Chains A and B, each alone.
Chain A
Amino acid sequence: MANLQSNLAGIKSPNPFWLASAPPTNSGYQVLRAFDAGWGGAVWKTLGTPIVNVTSRFAALDYKQNKIIGLNNIELITDRPLEENLQEIRECKAKYPDRAIIGSLMEVPERGPWHELVKRVQAAGVDGFELNFGCPHGMSERGMGAAVGQHPDIVEMITAWVVEAAEVPVIVKLTPNITDVRATARAAKRGGAHAISMINTINSLIGVDIETWNPIPHVDGKSSHGGYCGPAVKPIALNMVNECARDSEVGIPISGIGGVSTWQDAVEFFLLGATNVQVCTAVMHHGFRIVEDMIDGLSNYMDSRGIGALDGLIGQAQNKITTWENLNLNYQIVAEIDQEKCIHCSKCYIACEDAAHQCIDRVLVDDVAMLKVDQNHCVGCNLCMMVCPVEDCIEMVQVANGLPPESWKQRSSTVTA
């Protein structure tokens, strides 16, 4: 069986599945339940000066029958006294010494208070720190969270303060609400961070109730923007993780966060450069027990491919991402419809006709729509394959055009030469 032992910048855990700092890690009771279920680590709900939350804090984006494809929240950091949290951290660590417990921290941007907080939390026995520079609402108005995370110089400065006082590895959690995440990732590195984690939530507004015209969620008729997470944000997170993984000036391990719900999601994060993953929304949706299949599925997947340890996955596809100018312009694929599998719904036809390149022919034979791709005109955009409801019915097949690989970069340099 594959060894799922994980090591993020020296923080060890029996598997790479951590709970992200969020409602599931709000208390010792919950973290113990999570460890009972098998979670490898937990980033405690962000510690700091306790705040007061509003009621009506979450809202979800549903798509047809799929609940919570995206989740939006206006919750702040922990609302419980620091000492209570620290006592529970001690208890969890005593019961589960092999699991990673990370103290997530947030403080006003002053050196003294940061040192003070780091020391107190360290004394509780945490295995690492995660600096919350990402919370996009509430805390940012008080000069914390994303207000910090959007300024590389402040990120660097605070990281340095923490590293001065910390005896365990320091992870900096980055906000996606920034044009180029590499800027803050590099700043964290310069400040001495041992790892980065991403992404925190994305600024969002779930919607408006069209009956009452109240925003969703609303607090007595009003709302503020919240932070967006869940399956819908995974592509954004994957891109940011990969951008940092490929950046030589970042060069520190990455904990991947954003829409991880299954072991397959985790594999994708690993392949694109993450060392472990953190999960929030999927647990809020289904409970701690989902980790069982995450561990089991990952393990079976690695066994089936003969991969013994996570190193065999981490970053293995990261350099398959490049800039557009390096893509092979002579790589040609066209759609092919498996007539045996086709259920004649004509979804591919109308998609190609109205939104692509008008290259699917539709002929009624005995009142049944027969669909055929005009491969001479197909541009290989994939749209028909995407709309087809039948698995593997439309395949994109490569055309042997005999042309050697040639990128835009190469082509434009030949033209100008």
Chain B
Amino acid sequence: MDYPTLGEPIHKPLTELEVKLEANRCLNCYDAPCMNACPTHIDVASFIGKIATGNLKGSARVILDANAMGASCARVCPTEELCEGACVYKKDDSPIRIGDLQRYAIDWVMDNDVEIFTPGPSSGKHVAIIGGGPAGLSAARDLRRFGHAVTIFDSNDQLGGLNTYGIVPFRLSAEVAIWEAQQVVKLGANVVTNAHVGRDITLASLLKDFDAVVLACGMGRVPKLAIPGEELGGVLDALDFIERAKLGKDVGNLGKHVAVIGAGNTAIDALTCAKRLGAEHVTMYYRRGEAEMTAYEFEYDFAKMEGIEFRFFCAPKRIIGENGRVSAVEFIRTELVAAGEGVLESLMHVPKTIQGSEFIEPADTIISAIGQSRLLDTFAELGIRTREGVVDVDESLQTSRHGVFAAGDCIFEKGTREAMVVEAAEQGKVAARSVDAYLNDPSLRHGSGQAPA
């Protein structure tokens, strides 16, 4: 099936000449900083050196060995903040284009249908994975390489999680996300889609039927704005909106004015998506200032280039409707005031509304992108400990329940981990190793399936 592309991709593949020039420019640093800056520790200098010698299979293997999500990471990683930000050439503003070179090597695998890994000899053990997004796929891939049988349960009808449904197609196409998931399936992972653990399958049955469980369910939908008028037609959840746009489903008539609430990377995706779908005025509203935006700087720059408008220091107060549909939003101005002690640096100042500063902005569609909620029901059903909605794990990524491990966005905690595909891939890898150790060492399995004291 062909999915809509919504215009030109942000990054085009390098030409053969660019690849040669770029690969040969890499210094092959010793204990290279780029490798250390990559959350999955891909041996960057090694894979680039192999591209330079024409050993593309070897190059792809180096990448994929460290990171099962090498294809999507090459496209969606904030490389400016990671490997390329650490490249020694960054000092001269000309870091090696590591992400694009990675893409070149993996595209070669994709185009030539090359088999890189084979499953390990069967261990007789079977692991259940809840969620087939980047974290779950990464865990499943490595568990298959260790020789364990794997079954992935996902509530959606396609694998890939937010890679397939959430990240705008001009950054990552659904085709690539699905191809990447397919590589895990090819290694012999069983897949049960449209299966919501907690509703269609109980955890008790998973604990009974499987030797270990990896929880990789990500985060939930966008929470409610909790202001009057939210039930009106034309008020959308950013994730639903992007998903519909990405999979070619009807998004309805956006109208002339689209207001997006929030200033993170999801907001940027929703804004640029709406713009590319043809809305004339697409405006971001944020209750803090430009400096506090959580979107990466390069994402913000991208949004500016796409023609997005920005309004800072304003919070929505109520949504005004006409005939059951949004027509305007009332905002109130805000200012930042010092917060109490003991908060994260980024939260040192909190927005406070300014009495009597209300103003009204026209809006035909409102898209809420104020973050993602936590899947509290699922966690409760699993009987695992959480802290402020984040699944509690130890260093090995084991939850409070023996034999139940967790990876990806469901363990993402502001200020400690990042909600990124590459982090999810790394955690999936770590979880797979821990599960393997757990399955191979009976002493670790003591008390399996029971909540610890």
Listed in ascending order, the chain A residues whose CB lies under 8 Å from chain B are: 64-65, 343-347, 349-350, 367-369, 389
B29 and A345 form a contact (CB under 8 A): yes
Contact of A368 among B27, B32, B33 (CB under 8 A): B33
Which residues of the other chain, B, contact A345 by a CB distance below 8 angstroms? 27, 29-30, 32, 88
For this complex, into which size category does the number of interface residues on chain B fall? 10 to 19
Of A65, A347, A368, the most chain B CB neighbours within 10 A belong to A65
Which A residues are in CB contact (< 8 Å) with B33? 344, 367-369
Contact A346 B21 (CB under 8 A): no
Nearest CB in chain A to that of B45: its residue: A345
**Interface: B52 (CB within 8 A):** yes
Interface residues in chain B, defined as those with a beta carbon under 8 Å from any beta carbon in chain A: 20-21, 24, 27-33, 36, 52, 88-89, 91
- Alpha-carbon distance between A296 and B20 when the two chains are bound, in angstroms: 33
Contact B52 A347 (CB under 8 A): no
Name the distance in Å between B21's Cβ and chain A's nearest Cβ: 6
Which of chain B's residues has its CB closest to A346's CB? B30
Point out the residues of chain A lying under 8 angstroms from B89, CB to CB. 343
Q: Which residues of A contact B20 (CB under 8 A)?
A: 65
Task: Please report the C-alpha to C-alpha distance between residue A347 and residue B89 in the assembled complex, in whole angstroms.
Answer: 13
- 19 A–B pairs (Cβ distance < 8 Å), ordered by A: A64-B52, A65-B20, A65-B21, A65-B24, A343-B88, A343-B89, A343-B91, A344-B33, A344-B88, A345-B27, A345-B32, A346-B29, A346-B31, A347-B28, A347-B29, A347-B30, A350-B30, A368-B33, A369-B31
Name B's interface SS. helix
**Interface-central residue, A64, A349, A350, by most chain B CB under 10 Å:** A64
* CA of A349 to CA of B30, assembled, Å: 8
Q: Which residues of B contact A65 (CB under 8 A)?
A: 20-21, 24
* Chain A: minimal CB distance from B432 (Å): 26
Given contacts A343-B91, A345-B29, A347-B27, 9 further A-B contacts (CB under 8 A): A65-B20, A65-B24, A345-B30, A345-B88, A346-B30, A346-B31, A347-B28, A347-B29, A369-B31
- How far is B20's CA from A368's CA once the two chains are assembled, in angstroms? 28
Which B residues are CB-close (under 8 A) to A389?
27
Report B81 CB to chain A, min CB distance, Å.
14
Contacts of A343 in B (CB 8 A): 88-89, 91
- Residues on B with C-beta less than 8 A from A349 are 30
**How many whole Å from B342's CB to the nearest CB in chain A?**
25
Complex CA–CA separation, A250 to B91 (angstroms): 53
B29 CB, min distance to chain A CBs, angstroms:
4
Please measure, in the bound complex, the distance between the C-alpha atom of A64 and the C-alpha atom of B21, giving whole angstroms: 9
Using Cβ atoms and an 8 Å threshold, which residues of chain B touch A369?
Answer: 31, 33
- The smallest beta-carbon distance between A206 and chain B, in angstroms, is 18
Could you say which residues of chain A place their CB within 8 Å of the CB of B24?
A: 64-65
Complex Cα spacing A389 to B36, Å: 21
